[in-house]
Amino acid sequence: MITNRNLCPILFTLALLSCQPSEQRLTHDQRTAIADTIRLLTNQLMRTSEQLDAEKLCSFYSKSPEFRSFGDISYFPRSPQMRHVVQRWTLSTPDSFSAAVRRGFALKISQTYTLDEPFVNVLTPRFALSAISGKLAVAEKDNQNFVGRYSWVGIWALEQDQWKVLLENEYFGETMPEKRPGKR
């Protein structure tokens, strides 16, 4: 789920990209080739994230000063002492993103995605949008396990003949624990 707060930068970027000169129009074959590449890279990015290897994952991301990462995570309490946890972030540099990924992966034993096929929209010869959604299961070192809805939207930019994620929005919403009969 993309929140209104995080949707604004994505919409603004898309609006700018849609104003490209007509000489940058793509043929059907070019558009298809780019879309296939972005679909493959999006799937590779998710598989790499499952490996909990921060350096390898960060290699998919741009080092540009325009890089941004936005996200929302929501966990439900496991005991009366815990409270509902909501984390929101905006990371505005590749270094802050890399540090956050390393910290997050250090807390985890595993994470497994069950995802639909990515949706890809080629915007220009140098920019494409990719979106993917499904479920994410996380096991943390403190014996906390979480399962819930997951979505990721990224804008890929062609940088020195390599596609890199320039802007992303990530959402994880844990499925609310089911109430047992007789319990309130």
Residues 6+ apart with CB under 8 A from 184: none
Confidence grade of residue 4 (pLDDT, cut at 50, 70, 90): very low
Confidence grade of residue 165 (pLDDT, cut at 50, 70, 90): very high
Predicted local confidence at residue 142, as pLDDT = 84
Query: What single DSSP character describes residue 52?
Result: T
| Burial (Cβ within 10 Å: 0-12, 13-18, ≥19) of residue 115 | middle
Checking if the pLDDT of 2 tops 90, the result is: no
Q: Which residue has the higher pLDDT, 87 or 150?
A: 150
Mean pLDDT, residues 129-150: 90
Query: What separation in angstroms does the CA of 21 have from each of 16, 24, 26, 28, 36?
Result: 11, 6, 11, 17, 24
Mean pLDDT, residues 93-106: 94
Q: What's the pTM?
A: 0.81
pLDDT digits (tens, 9 = 90+) for 23-49: 468 999 999 999 999 999 999 999 999
Domain boundaries, the chain: 26-174
Pairing outcome for strands 127-140 and 108-115:
antiparallel
Fold of 26-174: Nuclear Transport Factor 2; Chain: A, (3.10.450)
Q: Are 111 and 49 in contact (CB under 8 A)?
A: yes
Predicted local confidence at residue 174, as pLDDT = 73
Among 21-35, 76-90, 144-158, the minimum mean pLDDT is found in 76-90
Question: How many angstroms separate the CA atoms of 45 and 60, rounded?
Answer: 7
Query: What separation in angstroms does the CA of 67 have from each of 87, 137, 143, 146?
Result: 20, 27, 33, 29
Mean pLDDT of the chain: 84
Checking if the pLDDT of 155 tops 60, the result is: yes
Measured in degrees and rounded to the nearest 5, phi and psi for residue 84 equal -60, 130
Question: How many angstroms separate the CA atoms of 76 and 94, rounded?
Answer: 30
